[in-house]
């Protein structure tokens, strides 16, 4: 199971009265094995939402829980993929992926099997012995995704994972993530400011307002995706050409544009 | 591994072989100038600075019959032993303290004030007290080396821990690391580039302090050789002592450098990748 729930969550950085109000009354339930993307203008607190599920930040008010248990601290049941990859530069690709499994006391033979499988899935097998810095950004992020996926977590938290990648690599990674997520579905909370990415990847997209961040609207993408059979297209550009995709994308764009405009008043 | 070798060899944009030959040529030229100024044209009188042949005979003297209470190997052995012991003792205490201070704000708040008081005292100023407490034997010298080598290893380790990227630390928390493993596999390697900077400074400080301590009072050691040679007005022997210290200092730094290159091989790749 992996149900993420935000219940009337506020987040204030600094003192309650005078601090920065980052989030206000966030209510969102992410169902088991659902892929939810949060989009919003920069500084709206979308990353803070993810960090609270990860256990890196506390809620000032309200409750963030996974499967009904309020989150107290970080843990391998909620694997995080960071924008800056956050690999251990002193460990090889293999050892980076292995570390979480060792912490979970998985037996050596099982670790070997699982790592071999994930390396194969992410096309990393030949780079197992490389250090992270010997790899391109896209490769490094693949390692970070493998490190998270290999734990077989209930919940996968992805914080603008493709934000640091160039446009072409980004597209390849998005396609691979879709492949991975359909083959091996997990509850995913995905933070991005790229609208197309959110529409392409997610089952539902939550749009946030500028700070203090609130959830303005939640769009159901999955029903349209299934009705139009997006997954039958191999390439992202084919999906992006579809009228249904364009319609959703434009809707989200407008919604974000309103937020941007409000910011300048 | 092939990949890294090429990185090392072209460090500084120059092939190692070429660098070594240029270095040797420089040393050769300096020796020629030295010979010319002393024996050759007699511009520098031998009472002020020894000629190469005087230095050579002083070397033969101290290696054979011995000088200042022992032969060269004995002096070298004693100095080297004390430096290594003092240095190891200093880093065995300094690095863990630096890790603790970098890791725990409480420890930092507690220990930092003590540091602020002790740091401005030059390590050499501890020598009289050390001799008063522990006499002219080894323990006083080890204590003084410890004082001088301890501080750079603490401070740099501390800074190294603070320099670890926050997302990397968060990744470690996320992976649910047991404490000991976290220290061994995240904190120490993450801080290690700075730790090694601290160790290099500590090693230099160890040699400086040891020679000074031996100058003040010792039964053996290269500082003792320098001290006796000064009293005997023996410039050739003074130079032999100085060169011996230089060679040992260079050699120990070299060994440390090799350990560093090996321990930070991941970082060499990182620096090369950054260009």
pLDDT, residue A265, reads 52
Q: Compute φ and ψ for A219, nearest 5 degrees.
A: -100, 135
Whether residue A118 is found in the same domain as residue A175:
no
Question: Considering CB atoms only, which of B3, B175, B267 is closest to A103?
Answer: B175
Find the residue in A nearest to B176 (Cα). Answer: A75
Q: Residue A263 domain-assigned?
A: no
A64 near A45, Cβ under 8 Å? no
What secondary structure letter does DSSP report for A29?
E
A198 near A37, Cβ under 8 Å? yes
pLDDT exceeds 70 at position A236: yes
pLDDT exceeds 90 at position B66: no
pLDDT, residue A148, reads 93
Query: The domain spanning residue A192 has which CATH number?
Result: 3.40.50.300
Average pLDDT over chain A, rounded to an integer: 91
pTM: 0.83
Whether residue A69 is found in the same domain as residue A168:
yes
pLDDT, residue B260, reads 93
User: Sorting pLDDT into bands at 50, 70 and 90, what band is A95?
Assistant: very high
pLDDT, residue B18, reads 85
* Chain A residues with CB-CB distance to B185 below 8 A: 88, 91, 99
Total domains, chain A? 2
Q: Residue A256 domain-assigned?
A: no
pLDDT, residue A193, reads 87
Interior angle at CA A255, CA A251 and CA A260, nearest 5:
140
Average pLDDT, integer, range A3-10? 94
* Chain B residues with CB-CB distance to A150 below 8 A: none
Q: Do B174 and A80 touch (CB under 8 A)?
A: yes
Whether residue A101 is found in the same domain as residue A67:
no
Rounded Cα distance, A126 and A233, in Å = 29
Summarised one tens digit per residue, pLDDT across range A45-68 is 899 999 999 999 999 999 999 999
Summarised one tens digit per residue, pLDDT across range B134-170 is 887 888 889 999 989 999 999 999 999 999 999 999 9
Whether residue A38 is found in the same domain as residue A139:
no
Q: What percent of chain B has pLDDT over 70?
A: 92
Q: Residue A41 domain-assigned?
A: yes
| Comparison of pLDDT for B57 and A265, the residue scoring more | B57
Rounded Cα distance, A202 and A195, in Å = 11
User: Sorting pLDDT into bands at 50, 70 and 90, what band is B4?
Assistant: very low
Find the residue in A nearest to B186 (Cα). Answer: A88
What secondary structure letter does DSSP report for A38?
E
Among B7-16, B87-96, B149-158, B179-188, whose mean pLDDT is lowest? Answer: B7-16
The last residue of a domain, from among A152, A183, A206: A152
Whether residue A44 is found in the same domain as residue A170:
yes
B51 near B35, Cβ under 8 Å? yes
User: Sorting pLDDT into bands at 50, 70 and 90, what band is B124?
Assistant: confident
Preferred mutation among A55, A89, A92 to probe B, highest tally of B CBs within 10 A: A89
pLDDT exceeds 50 at position A214: yes
Most confidently modeled of A255-259, B127-131, B162-166?
B162-166
Q: Do A133 and B273 touch (CB under 8 A)?
A: yes
pLDDT, residue B11, reads 52
Mention every residue, 6+ apart, whose C-beta is less than 8 A from residue A259.
A40, A41, A44, A209, A210, A216
Distances (CA, A) of B273 to A66, A142, B2, B268, B269: 40, 18, 15, 8, 6
Alpha-carbon radius of gyration of chain A: 19
* Residue A78, SS3 per DSSP: strand
Which residue segment(s) compose the domain that A14 sits in?
A: 1-77+164-251
> Of B19, B196, B29, B178, whose CA–CA distance to B98 is shortest?
B196
Q: Where are the beta strands (DSSP E) in chain B?
A: none
Strand partners, A204: A36, A220
Find the residue in A nearest to B173 (Cα). Answer: A74
pLDDT, residue A20, reads 92
A186 near A195, Cβ under 8 Å? no
pLDDT, residue B12, reads 54
The last residue of a domain, from among A108, A129, A152: A152
User: Sorting pLDDT into bands at 50, 70 and 90, what band is A173?
Assistant: confident
Preferred mutation among A50, A130, A131, A164 to probe B, highest tally of B CBs within 10 A: A131
Q: Do A103 and B181 touch (CB under 8 A)?
A: yes
| Comparison of pLDDT for B181 and B265, the residue scoring more | B181
Summarised one tens digit per residue, pLDDT across range B161-191 is 999 999 999 999 999 999 999 999 999 999 9
Average pLDDT over chain B, rounded to an integer: 88
Whether residue A73 is found in the same domain as residue A86:
no
Among A39-48, A63-72, A171-180, B256-265, whose mean pLDDT is lowest? Answer: A171-180
Q: Do B3 and A134 touch (CB under 8 A)?
A: yes
Q: Residue A261 domain-assigned?
A: no
Q: Tell me, what's the ipTM? A: 0.89
The last residue of a domain, from among A114, A129, A152: A152
pLDDT exceeds 60 at position B256: yes
Which residues of A touch chain B, with CB atoms under 8 Å apart?
A: 54-56, 73-76, 78-80, 82-91, 99-100, 102-104, 131, 133-134, 147, 151
Looking up tokens 């602020």, which residue turns up?
A: B116
Q: Kindly report the CATH class assigned to B68-264.
A: mainly alpha
User: Sorting pLDDT into bands at 50, 70 and 90, what band is A264?
Assistant: low
Whether residue A169 is found in the same domain as residue A247:
yes
Whether residue A65 is found in the same domain as residue A176:
yes
Whether residue A7 is found in the same domain as residue A68:
yes
Whether residue A32 is found in the same domain as residue A68:
yes
Backbone conformation region of residue A219, classed left if phi is above 0, alpha if psi is from -120 to 50, else beta? beta
Average pLDDT, integer, range B226-232? 91
Q: Residue A134 domain-assigned?
A: yes
User: Sorting pLDDT into bands at 50, 70 and 90, what band is B10?
Assistant: low
User: Sorting pLDDT into bands at 50, 70 and 90, what band is A251?
Assistant: very high
Rounded Cα distance, A198 and A207, in Å = 10
């Amino acid at each position: 199971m992996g149900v993420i729930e935000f219940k009337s969550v506020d987040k204030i950085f600094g003192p309650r009265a005078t601090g920065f109000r980052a989030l206000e009354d966030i209510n969102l339930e992410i169902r088991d094995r659902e892929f939810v993307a949060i989009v919003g203008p920069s500084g709206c607190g979308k990353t803070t939402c993810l960090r609270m599920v990860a256990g890196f930040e506390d809620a000032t008010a309200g409750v963030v829980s996974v499967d009904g248990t309020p989150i107290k601290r970080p843990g391998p049941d909620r694997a995080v993929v960071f924008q800056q990859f956050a690999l251990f530069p002193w460990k090889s690709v293999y050892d980076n992926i292995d570390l979480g499994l060792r912490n979970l006391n998985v037996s050596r033979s099982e670790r070997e099997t699982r790592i071999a499988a994930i390396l194969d899935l992410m096309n990393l097998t030949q780079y197992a012995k490389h250090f992270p810095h010997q790899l391109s950004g896209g490769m490094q992020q693949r390692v970070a995704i493998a490190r998270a996926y290999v734990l077989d977590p209930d919940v996968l938290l992805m914080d603008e994972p493709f934000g640091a990648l160039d446009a072409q690599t980004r597209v390849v990674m998005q396609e691979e993530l879709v492949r991975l997520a359909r083959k091996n579905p997990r509850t995913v909370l995905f933070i991005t400011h790229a609208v197309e990415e959110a529409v392409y990847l997610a089952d539902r997209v939550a749009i946030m307002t500028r700070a203090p961040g609130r959830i303005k609207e939640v769009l159901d993408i999955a029903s349209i995706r299934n009705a139009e059979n997006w997954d039958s297209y191999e390439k992202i550009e084919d999906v992006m050409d579809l009228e249904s995709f364009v319609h959703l994308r434009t809707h989200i764009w407008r919604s974000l544009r309103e937020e941007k405009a409000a910011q300048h008043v | 591994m092939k990949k890294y070798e090429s990185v090392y060899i072209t460090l500084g944009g120059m092939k190692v072989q070429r660098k070594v030959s240029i270095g040797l040529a420089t040393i050769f030229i300096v020796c020629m100038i030295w010979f010319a100024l002393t024996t050759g044209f007699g511009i520098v009188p031998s009472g002020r600075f020894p000629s190469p042949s005087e230095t050579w005979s002083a070397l033969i003297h101290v290696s054979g019959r011995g000088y200042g209470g022992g032969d060269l190997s004995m002096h070298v052995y004693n100095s080297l032993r004390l430096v290594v012991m003092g240095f190891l003792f200093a880093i065995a205490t300094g690095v863990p303290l630096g890790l603790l201070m970098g890791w725990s704000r409480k420890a930092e708040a507690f220990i930092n004030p003590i540091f602020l008081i002790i740091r401005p005292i030059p390590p050499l100023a501890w020598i009289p007290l050390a001799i008063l407490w522990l006499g002219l034997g080894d323990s006083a010298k080890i204590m003084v080396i410890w004082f001088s080598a301890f501080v750079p290893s603490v401070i740099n380790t501390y800074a190294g821990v603070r320099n670890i990227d926050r997302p990397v630390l968060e990744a470690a928390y996320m992976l649910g690391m047991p404490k000991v493993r976290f220290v061994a596999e995240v904190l120490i390697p993450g801080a290690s580039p700075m730790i090694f900077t601290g160790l290099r400074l500590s090693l230099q400080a160890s040699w400086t302090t040891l020679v000074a301590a031996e100058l003040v009072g010792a039964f053996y050691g290269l500082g003792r050789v320098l001290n006796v040679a000064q009293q005997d007005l023996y410039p050739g022997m003074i130079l032999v002592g100085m060169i011996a210290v230089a060679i040992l200092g260079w050699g120990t730094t070299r060994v440390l450098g090799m350990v560093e290159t090996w321990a930070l091989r991941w970082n060499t790749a990182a620096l090369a990748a950054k260009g």
